[in-house]
Chains A and B, each alone.
Chain A
Amino acid sequence: MSTEVIRQDDVTIRFAGDSGDGMQLTGTQFTDTTAKVGNDLATFPDFPSEIRAPAGTRAGVSGYQVHFSSSDIYTPGDAPDVLVAMNPAALIINYKDIKPGGIILVNTGSFQANDLKKAQLDSNPLEDDTLSGYRVIEEDINQRTIEALEGTELSKKDVLRCKNFYTLGMMYWLFHRPIDPTLDWLEEKFKSKPQLIDANCRALKAGYNHGELLRLFQGRYEVPKVTDAPAGTYRNIMGNQSVAIGLVAGAHLAGLKPFLGSYPITPATDILQHMSVLKNYDVITCQMEDEIAGICTAIGASYAGHLGITTTSGPGLALKSEAVGLACITELPLVIVDVQRAGPSTGLPTKVEQADLLQAVFGRNSEAPVPVLACSCPADGFDCAVEACRIATEFMTPVILLSDNYIANGAEPWLLPKMEDLKEFKVEFTTDPEGYWPYRRKENLARDWAKPGTPGMQHRIGGLEKDAATGAVSHDPENHQFMVETRLQKVLNVADTIPTPEYFGPENPDLLVVGWGSPYGAIRAATEAMQADGASLGRIQLRHIYPLPHGLEEIFASAKRILIPEMNMGQLARLLTSEMPQFKFESFHKVKGKPFMAPELKTRFAEILEEMA
């Protein structure tokens, strides 16, 4: 009897297990293969901040959610269709999120009394009615893996470490995915350890074959590839990766060599790691002694004629803020990436929040205006990083690019830009000493950039206020006011070079939703669904937070009410209120360390529309 094949257009799977179970790896492998199959996808890794929280405990549960589809999707999915639970803690933490009637695959090999105790369970949820309403599939994956690897020389511990590949094999079978990409990946990954290649490949294949043989599932699912996706070349990309590539590309488009001075901090470290590999792109990376040294080396490098870059998260941005002011007053190009995480101080370092917006815009002593932009999804990181490089070099200013944990670690297919669409914005260094002084400006108010090593152009810049006309240190009151106003005007001039955000929705909507950053996907999914049902609902997404683009007044004036969903206590709403007090900006905030879900947004939008009806 052949297995029934069920066609489904949209599936969300959550892999959950102990942080030592390799769930992130399982999830990324599933994701990469799914990208190759041609589905649209979005992912959401969710892991504890401890590298190895006590094994088997609830605190140690690590999850990876992947949403894949035959059509365009914007979020990693709301309620998963499938939960893979490698132990009781993973089960108990996650099962409530699963769709009613959804599949829960449980590794019963990790459901001994001791495992239950570690998960603080008095009774076995597989034996009571906890999971009624779900299709529970029990399998002793530990035992199956041991059987599959019979005869291997690996220790039992190492054998059991292959169980995630066994599980991945089962999922590949269930969702009709090829196993070859993962087999190839294993070959490459363990090049020097043939034993591990063999063991993991065998576990993967066994899991795949057992899907067929054991008939655990009622059928197999097929999620056909996207057919109406825009034509072009795609690549699966994570946010930190796209930002890293964008920074290197941006520097090249500016005709400069990128110099990254940084210090490891969750969740920004990956950018430093990615860029460290790219040495043959003339990338210099320096892992410095602290956050301050990270930005200060980058400032030094910019002074020397490179494009200085520094990457960090909120706490690191706080440490760097004095140096951001230095880059402001010396008017050097500098790109600062803040991959935001949750909470003040250390907070929840592996969880998501967008609460650094006001820090980015205002968080410095005195008047130190800095352009701020924010990327909205993993693929958008590239464009935003290039844009940050453009603004930094065209306006001789530090620029802050905001990303967040959700974008940084999430993955999605990226429609690659055509090479001819990547427009250069080449920097021209000043080399003619005739009439040069350090604060001589272009029409857009950017100062001329002369780099050390250029004969006859010796000059001094620094943190002390300078005379506008000579570049010498100046304490003159009139000059200071002039310089403060000039630096501000220069940053405001950025607005003349950026487009008005595109509005999506009916004319004169009852409700306009304004998004920035990573809620983009959930906002888009929710509004599009409601628009399809005829709701008078529109949306825009802001990439440029400071200065704001021109043309927003008209868009805001066209709507009856304006709502801003953001993962903070209403920071964009506050900023917009102060910039455009003629409008009322309502805030819908969430600060749970978790991203917005489309359903909760729909509920809120519907409430507002109902109030208005």
Chain B
Amino acid sequence: MSDVQQLKPKDFKSNQEVRWCPGCGDYSIIAAVQKTLAQSGVAKENVVMVSGIGCSSRFPYYMDTYGFHGIHGRANAIATGIKTANPDLQVWVITGDGDGLSIGGNHMIHSLRRNVDLKVVLFNNEIYGLTKGQYSPTSPRGLKTKTTPYGSVDAPFNPVQLALGAGATFVARTLDVRPKHLQAVLKAASEHKGAAFVEVWQNCVIFNDGAFKGWTEKAVRDELTIDLEPGQPMIYGKDKDKGLKAVNWRLERTTADDAGIWDPDHECPAAAFAMAQLDNDPEMPRPMGIFRRVSNPTLDALVHEQIDSVTEKRGPGELKDLIYTPDCWEVG
């Protein structure tokens, strides 16, 4: 028998009562994260959950790991500090569309560009929940909210495109109502070395109920979404009869037999961008799964490699040498 204790998902639950609204999509996400951590075999003390402000940001309190509930929008920056200081920790950022893409947009793009080894889970419910229902940077045009009583006139962000544009080395999308898919994507994200960005479609039952229903309901799901399987043909449809293939830099619909192979691991991000672009075409299915997964050196590792190489060259710094430099002189 192994002496490493096999942890169960419930071992990652803290003693705090979970206070999301009944029916909120957050419940399924936290269950999937707990399962993922349990299966991965990571020690509880080596996991840090970092969040900003919003409904999703209460997440760390519900996990029996280390946790830091920060300030609005700054989770990525706080997490960058934690991970860079101690790269042995597995650091997760739990954020939302308002927290991570509006007030924290700057930190989001820069942490992705730096390829800090963070697992960023962005709960996208296309609304501000904690402040009780104002439109967010992912709300679709025309959405009526408390601050857009006549409909929103803002153009929304596409989180996947934003992450791809910022240079994230792992970009994926999943959804709260498909726990298996959710867990598979989170597992892939947790295994990725580098900045992993996961957009989760999350239903806010209170302020934006059914925002994704048009794609996620059982009746339409198979026709209106496509699961991206690395190395597999791009096929979808209830009967798995439809497919996608690349034509002239774009993805076009075709039959399943003619479908191209999905390769998120290719160095060139063009296919991932083309895939993310499908959201804008009502005729096309919305892609779910891994858009991009490439390997690049991480910031945290590079920082320490540099410290090691300078230290090797110059020798470990002694406090005395810091103060008493060769240009000093004696008096008396």
Which positions in A face B, CB cutoff 8 Å?
32, 35-36, 38, 226, 229-236, 245, 248-249, 252-253, 257, 259, 261, 278-284, 286, 288-290, 292-293, 296-306, 308, 322-323, 325-326, 330, 382, 416-417, 419, 422, 451-464, 472-473
Contacts and interface: CB of A to CB of B under 8 A. Distances in A.
Contact of B110 (A283, A289, A382, A460): A289
Contacts of B88: 453
B329 A36 contact: yes
A246 to B, nearest CB: 9
Contact of A282 (B43, B307, B325): B307
A297 B83 CA distance: 9
A451 B66 CA distance: 9
Would you list the 10 A-B pairs with minimal beta carbon distance, nearest first? A300-B81, A462-B69, A231-B332, A297-B81, A281-B317, A296-B77, A460-B67, A452-B66, A304-B85, A235-B328
B67 A459 contact: yes
A236 B82 contact: no
A165 to B, nearest CB: 20
Contacts, number: 210
A22 B261 CA distance: 62
Contact of A249 (B77, B83, B85, B322): B322
Given A259-B85, A304-B85, A453-B46, A282 B331 contact: no
Contact of A301 (B14, B43, B85): B85
B82 A288 contact: no
A284 B311 CA distance: 12
Nearest to B73: A292
Most B-side CB within 10 Å, residue of A245, A248, A323, A458:
A458
B123 interface: no
A13 to B, nearest CB: 21
Contacts of B330: 232-234
Interface residues of B, number: 60
Interface string B281-321: 00000000000000000000001001100110111110110
B89 A453 contact: yes
A298 to B, nearest CB: 6
Interface in B31-86: 43-46, 48-51, 53, 60-61, 63-71, 74, 77-86
Contact of B317 (A282, A286, A300, A452): A282
Contacts of B323: 235, 245, 249, 382, 416-417, 419
B71 A323 contact: yes
Contacts of A252: 319
Given A300-B78, A462-B69, A226 B331 contact: yes
A289 B107 contact: yes
Contacts of A454: 45
Given A35-B329, A292-B77, A419-B320, 6 more contacts: A231-B331, A280-B315, A281-B322, A284-B85, A300-B83, A452-B82
B150 interface: no
B84 A259 contact: yes
A473 B322 contact: no
B38 to A, nearest CB: 15
Interface string B236-263: 0000000000000000000000000000
B45 A457 contact: yes
A325 B88 CA distance: 28
Contacts of B49: 460
A308 B330 CA distance: 35
Nearest to A322: B71
25 contacts: A235-B323, A235-B325, A235-B327, A249-B323, A257-B85, A259-B84, A280-B315, A284-B303, A292-B107, A296-B77, A297-B77, A300-B77, A300-B81, A300-B83, A300-B84, A301-B85, A305-B86, A306-B86, A417-B323, A419-B320, A452-B48, A452-B89, A453-B86, A460-B14, A460-B63
